[in-house]
Amino acid sequence: MKNAAEPMDIRDLVIDDRKRGVFRVHRSCMASPDLFQRERRLIFDRCWIYLGHESEVERPGDYRRRTVAGRPLFFVRGKDGQVRVFLNSCPHRGAMICRRDGGNAKILRCFYHAWSFNTEGELIGVPGRDAYGPNFDPAELGLKKPARVDSYRGFFFVSFNPDAEDLRTYLAGARDYLDLVVDQTQEGMRVVPGSNKYAIKANWKLLAENSLDGYHLIPTHRTYVDYMAGLGTDDSGDSLAARPPGAGRALGNGHCVSENISRNGRPIARWHPVFGEEAKERIARTRRRLVREYGEKRAFRMADTSRNLLIYPNLLIMDFVAISIRYIEPVAPDRMEVTAWHLVPREESGAALATRLDSYLTFLGPGGFATPDDVEALESCQTGFRASENEWSDISRGMLKSRPGTSDELQMRGFWRQWHANMLGRNTTNVQDGQPTESQAAAADSEADGLGHRASAR
Amino acid sequence: MTATSRPALRGIVEEFLFREAALLDDWRLDDWLDLFTHDARYMVPSTDLPEGDPGRDLVFIDDDIMRLRARVARLNSRHSHRENPRSRTRRFVSNVRVEETEDRQLSVSANVLVYRFRSGEGAPYVGSVEYVLRRDGEDLRIAYRRAVLDMEDLSWHGAVSIIL
């Protein structure tokens, strides 16, 4: 590994030889504080980043607090029904306005000097107002907003980049996959109360990769696979070859998906013994509705296929045994905070909801039968990276295949190609395995973009 | 175990809880499983919703006896990677309170501090555990066990990879 005094060229961090099928990522990408800062600037300050779901603020005055790309934010539903997002810092002196994770308020008051704001963010109360001079303008002192806020099908995103392309364009091929999730419900989706919050001592990109990685399923999650087999999963195939076909796809702009024919039950419309006999008719009914509304082909995708969808850079929608929204907040090169929520169709209650909630807990969540082992794998990699003479990670699986499956790694290469392009200051790149190669594109790009491609690798 | 005085009853329950803690710290999980009734439940709510109801809300763990057995089988196997090699744990159980319910079950709560050490790091899980204990001859059985964490999140541990 190059020593700290010798900066690593950003262009050299990813080796992407599409002709020979070689794809390597330099491990400093997961460990370097300089690269972490560069990511903040070139990715998290520029992309659309997930904030929350509309159902988390149902009534006027409902608010939720979040940390998004390092910023304390909160979102609140106004009297007019509109969701607004504010920086959680008083325009007066900086204290946090919103000091609870969530609640309901008509007026938002900063506890420090008692400046108060309405849910539209306007400054409506300043104690001792007469002591301020004539140039004190309350209209300029409302709560500040992120540069951009937009939503797609109930998912709210923010961008701190005023010039960001619109959210629909940004989401590219991921839109169809979000549709496949949301269209499963008749009455819309909602996030159930309670979230799973945990931290992993590893670089955030490792969880983005891991969440799309079908190759690790059997070795890492053997206990889960065995458990499901014991419960009657129809194909408990012990080898990659025995698993049903699936596809790994790069959807553009770094969004990627791992799409599988489901072996397990899907609470929406694929019955599994674990759900119990009594659920059979209900699930069959939902399936008939999906076929009626969307046709056999699309209903099949909704009911019988599962998808792990990465919305670049740091959001995952895991739609398999249940639907999980997983948000990754990078906090240091070797540390991330993860929050997971459970997304359910509004019309489900009672037994249907209980089945779905129970299904979630088998795999997902830090107390489930699988997630703890992913945490272990990621932390193990991060520690392994300290063996810095071992400079490269290999992500080339299936690179020369025309139709890579879920245990191949196109869906990870798609992520990394976007990441590399962003780190070089470019917004778009060819994320597929075909030509042109990254290095060709980078060479065609003059160095005149003024960003400087050199940064210390450690 | 009839007409037991209150301090004596607490003594009996404490004895039971201490024995349970030792089984867990010693990783004698099959013996621990024997303490449960066949209709038992083991639950750990999310840290941000301690009153969470597994039929309505997202929790960390909600096991019936089948899944609890599977959890133990998983922890006993070599493939439970977060606990292979196993962590060292030490449990401190205190502030035990016992109420006898109308159907002669025991409603118990205790404070618990579980230190976990592994991979050069150590941190505690802090919380309370609520039990419903059922008399079984001279012995007690766990019919319900709910561990409620006081931490705001799992940032120290990354997971609930041991029995809490």
Chain A contact for B61 (CB, 8 A cutoff): yes
Q: What is the pLDDT of residue A452?
A: 41
Chain B contact for A230 (CB, 8 A cutoff): yes
Chain A contact for B159 (CB, 8 A cutoff): yes
* Secondary element (H or E) of residue B88: strand B88-100
Q: What is the pLDDT of residue B70?
A: 95
pLDDT of A383 above 90: yes
Mean pLDDT of A48-63: 98
Q: What is the mean pLDDT of chain B?
A: 95
Q: Which residues of A are less than 8 Å from B153 in CB distance?
A: 197-199, 337
Mean pLDDT of A197-209: 98
Look up residue B136 and give its two tokens: 């079984």
Q: From the CA of B99, how many Å to the nearest CA of chain A?
A: 29
Q: What is the mean pLDDT of chain A?
A: 90
What fold does the segment set A1-46+173-458 form as a domain?
A: Naphthalene 1,2-dioxygenase Alpha Subunit; Chain A, domain 1 (3.90.380)
Determine what percent of chain A is predicted with pLDDT higher than 70. 90
pLDDT of A453 above 80: no
- Whether residues A230 and B70 touch (CB distance < 8 A) is answered with yes
- Whether residues B70 and A196 touch (CB distance < 8 A) is answered with no
CA-based end-to-end distance of chain A: 10
pLDDT of B2 above 60: no
Q: From the CA of A331, how many Å to the nearest CA of chain B?
A: 12
Mean pLDDT of B106-132: 97
- Whether residues A373 and B155 touch (CB distance < 8 A) is answered with no
Chain B contact for A52 (CB, 8 A cutoff): no
- Whether residues B74 and A369 touch (CB distance < 8 A) is answered with yes
| Across A259-263, A421-425, B56-60, B66-70, least confident range | A259-263
Chain B contact for A198 (CB, 8 A cutoff): yes
- Whether residues B81 and A358 touch (CB distance < 8 A) is answered with no
Indicate which of A210, A223, A343 best probes the interface with B, i.e. most B CBs within 10 Å of its own CB.
Answer: A223
Determine what percent of chain B is predicted with pLDDT higher than 90. 92
Phi and psi (nearest 5°) for A163?
-95, 10
Q: What is the pLDDT of residue A376?
A: 97
Chain A contact for B55 (CB, 8 A cutoff): yes
The pLDDT tens digits for A100-122 are 999 999 999 999 999 999 999 99
Q: What is the pLDDT of residue A6?
A: 62
| Across A172-176, A283-287, B62-66, least confident range | A283-287
Q: What is the pLDDT of residue A402?
A: 87
Nearest residue of chain B to residue A351 (CA atoms) = B55
Of B74, B119, B160, the CB nearest to A223: B74
Mean pLDDT of A375-399: 97
- Whether residues A341 and B58 touch (CB distance < 8 A) is answered with yes
Chain B contact for A195 (CB, 8 A cutoff): yes
User: CA-CA distance, A354 to A346, in Å (whole number)?
Assistant: 13
- Whether residues A197 and B119 touch (CB distance < 8 A) is answered with no
- Whether residues B58 and A195 touch (CB distance < 8 A) is answered with yes
Mean pLDDT of A23-33: 97
The pLDDT tens digits for A292-318 are 999 999 999 998 889 999 999 999 999
Mean pLDDT of A188-205: 97
- What domains, with CATH codes, occur in chain B? 6-149 (3.10.450.50)
Q: From the CA of B49, how many Å to the nearest CA of chain A?
A: 5
The pLDDT tens digits for A206-245 are 999 999 999 998 899 988 888 888 877 655 444 555 556 6
- Whether residues B48 and A367 touch (CB distance < 8 A) is answered with no
| Across A211-215, A222-226, A324-328, B106-110, least confident range | A222-226
Convert chain A into a string of H (helix), E (strand) and C (coil).
Answer: CCCCCCCEEHHHCEEEECCCCEEEEEHHHHCCHHHHHHHHHHHHCCCCEEEEEHHHCCCCCEEEEEEECCEEEEEEECCCCCEEEEECCCCCCCCCCCCCCEEECCEEECCCCCCEEECCCCEEECCCHHHCCCCCCHHHCCCCCCCEEEEECCEEEEECCCCCCCHHHHHCCHHHHHHHHHCCCCCCEEECCCCEEEEECCCHHHHHHHCCCCCCHHHHCHHHHHHHHHCCCCCCCCCHHHCCCEEEEEEECCEEEEEEECCCCECCCECCHHHCHHHHHHHHHHHHHHHHHHHHHHHHHHHHEEEEEEECCCEEEEECCCEEEEEEEEEECCEEEEEEEEEEECCCCHHHHHHHHHHHHHHCCCCCCCHHHHHHHHHHHHHHCCCCCCCEEECCCCCCCCCCCCCCCHHHHHHHHHHHHHHCCCCCCCCCCCCCCHHHHHHHCCHHHCCCCEECCC
Of B58, B80, B154, the CB nearest to A342: B58
Q: What is the pLDDT of residue A272?
A: 83
Report whether B48 contacts A339 (CB < 8 A): no
Of the pLDDT bands very low, low, confident and very high (cuts 50, 70, 90), residue A89 is: very high
The residues in A 359-388 lying below 8 A from B, measured between CB atoms, are 360-362, 365-367, 369, 371-373, 375-377, 379, 383
Mean pLDDT of A370-382: 97
Nearest residue of chain B to residue A322 (CA atoms) = B58
Q: Where are the domains of chain A?
A: 1-46+173-458, 49-163
Q: From the CA of A357, how many Å to the nearest CA of chain B?
A: 7
pLDDT of B52 above 60: yes
Q: Which residues of A are less than 8 Å from B55 in CB distance?
A: 353-354, 357
Look up residue B124 and give its two tokens: 């505690």
Mean pLDDT of A65-93: 97
Of the pLDDT bands very low, low, confident and very high (cuts 50, 70, 90), residue A269 is: confident
- Whether residues A227 and B70 touch (CB distance < 8 A) is answered with yes
The pLDDT tens digits for A145-171 are 999 999 999 999 999 999 999 999 999
Q: What is the pLDDT of residue A161?
A: 98
pLDDT of B142 above 60: yes
- Whether the predicted model's global pTM rises above the 0.95 cut: no
Chain B contact for A332 (CB, 8 A cutoff): no
The pLDDT tens digits for A412-448 are 999 999 999 999 999 999 999 986 555 555 555 544 3
Of B52, B83, B153, the CB nearest to A198: B153
Q: From the CA of A110, how many Å to the nearest CA of chain B?
A: 23
Q: What is the pLDDT of residue A273?
A: 80
Class (C level, CATH) for A49-163: mainly beta
Q: What is the pLDDT of residue A230?
A: 82
Q: What is the pLDDT of residue A447?
A: 42
Q: Which residues of A are less than 8 Å from B159 in CB distance?
A: 198, 366-367, 371-372, 375
